[in-house]
Amino acid sequence: MGADGGHEAGKEPAMWAVGEPCNGYAKILRSDDGGHKWQRQGSVQTLPTAVLAGIAAADRDLLWAVGARIHSEPSGVILRSKDGGANWTEWRDPATEAEILKDEFGAVVCVDAKTVWAVGYNGKIIKSTDGGDTWQVQTSGTNAQLQGLWALDEKHVWATGSKDDGQDGVILYSSNGGDPWESQGESVIQAAVLGVCAVDVDTAWAVGSKWTVYNRTKDQPKWKIQQTGPPYDLNGIAALGPDRVWFVADNDTLGIWTGSEWKTRTVLPSGYYLLRICALPDGRLLVGGRSYTGEEGGVIHVIPESGEAISHQDPVGIHDVTYAL
């Protein structure tokens, strides 16, 4: 999910990617030329040794990244930049951090410069209404490992995840900014639910293990299974409209919704679990992933509606991507 406001005609979106740490500090990359070149941000002096699982942009300047600290406490990490990633600060607050940062984070989303959510392990959901200066814990009603997150606006937001060691999944929804959250789709969920997106309050998709796509519409308000397939994971999903939807999956796979069926294609270079996807307004797709070949490594693809992808192969796994116009 990216920031669509304030686009300057002819100017490439700013793109970011986050993932495994490298050389002792968290990996954050930025591209300003459509994904041809990526520059690393931060330094070992300014960033913790952490796995970053999520990144969100309110605009080209204001960003948040979340994840998990390696071999130190507290487990959770929240980073913020006010200058497009040139400088990052780690959120800490002695009065509340023991509760806020107790669990690892799996995703972050914002709807504007003030309203931000992050989710993580043990059903952790936190929200900020002041741009990340302060955070409040919300009651999720689950102990699931939450790693999918999507917000339409300051009221309508979804979170997804897995429980029972990935054998079961969860979809949470709030129509009031997270107060309260309610569980949805219990009767149809077959396994872990890893990603979610929506184009309006009635039309949403979720994806997960066992190659499963879930869908709900105004005419079908309860979640149903739209697609199943081979025993691999569908990891992320994005949409620009009811008939423009894409998922990313294990084994280099991109799924494309035609309006009546799902079709798939292999994205080259191969050798990657594709984990997260953003759909840019012009139809290009920004995708991040990590190697499945047994070697360390990651990939960032910028995939046009036609033609070959622009790809960056990185020394470490890429867990999330975002953009701002």
* Chain segment 88-137, per-residue pLDDT in tens: 999 999 999 999 999 999 999 999 999 999 999 999 999 999 999 999 99
Q: Give dist(CA 59, CA 11) in Å, integer.
A: 14
Q: For the chain, which domains are there?
A: 14-324 (2.130.10.10)
When pLDDT is averaged across residues 173-195 and rounded to a whole number, the result is 96
Sheet holding 253-257, edge to edge: 234-241, 244-249, 253-257, 262-266
What is the pLDDT, as a whole number, of residue 190?
86
What is the pLDDT, as a whole number, of residue 237?
98
Count of CB atoms situated within 10 Å of the CB of 247: 28
Q: Which of 292, 248, 278 is nearest to 266 (CA)?
A: 248
Burial class (CB in 10 A: 0-12, 13-18, 19+), 166: middle
| Residue pLDDT, tens place only, 234-278 | 999 999 999 999 999 999 999 999 889 999 999 999 999 999 999
Which residues lie below 8 Å from residue 66, measured CB to CB, with a gap of 6+? 52, 53, 54, 55, 76, 77, 78, 79, 105, 106, 107, 108, 118, 120
Using the 8-state DSSP alphabet, how is residue 135 labeled?
-
Q: Give dist(CA 165, CA 154) in Å, integer.
A: 31
Q: Following DSSP, what letter does each residue of 169-202 receive, concatenated?
A: EEEEEESSTTSS-EEE-TTT--S-EEEEEESSSS
* Mean pLDDT for the chain overall: 95
pTM, 2 dp: 0.96
Handedness of CA 281, 60, 298, 157 (dihedral sign): negative
Confidence check: pLDDT of 3 > 90:
no
CB of 184 within 8 A of CB of 223?
Answer: yes
Confidence check: pLDDT of 138 > 90:
yes
Q: Per-residue confidence at 4, pLDDT binned at 50, 70, 90?
A: low
| Residue pLDDT, tens place only, 185-218 | 999 998 999 999 999 999 999 999 999 999 999 9
| Residue pLDDT, tens place only, 45-80 | 999 999 999 999 999 999 999 999 998 888 999 999
CB of 277 within 8 A of CB of 289?
Answer: no
Residue 113, Ramachandran bin (φ over 0: left; ψ between -120 and 50: alpha; else beta) = alpha
3-state secondary structure of 291: strand
Q: Per-residue confidence at 9, pLDDT binned at 50, 70, 90?
A: low
Q: Per-residue confidence at 295, pLDDT binned at 50, 70, 90?
A: confident
What is the pLDDT, as a whole number, of residue 165?
78
Rg of the Cα atoms in the chain: 18
What is the pLDDT, as a whole number, of residue 2?
76
Cis omega (within 30 of 0) on the bond before 48? Answer: no
Half-sphere exposure of 56 (CA within 13 A, CB side): 26
What is the pLDDT, as a whole number, of residue 8?
57
Residue 55, Ramachandran bin (φ over 0: left; ψ between -120 and 50: alpha; else beta) = beta
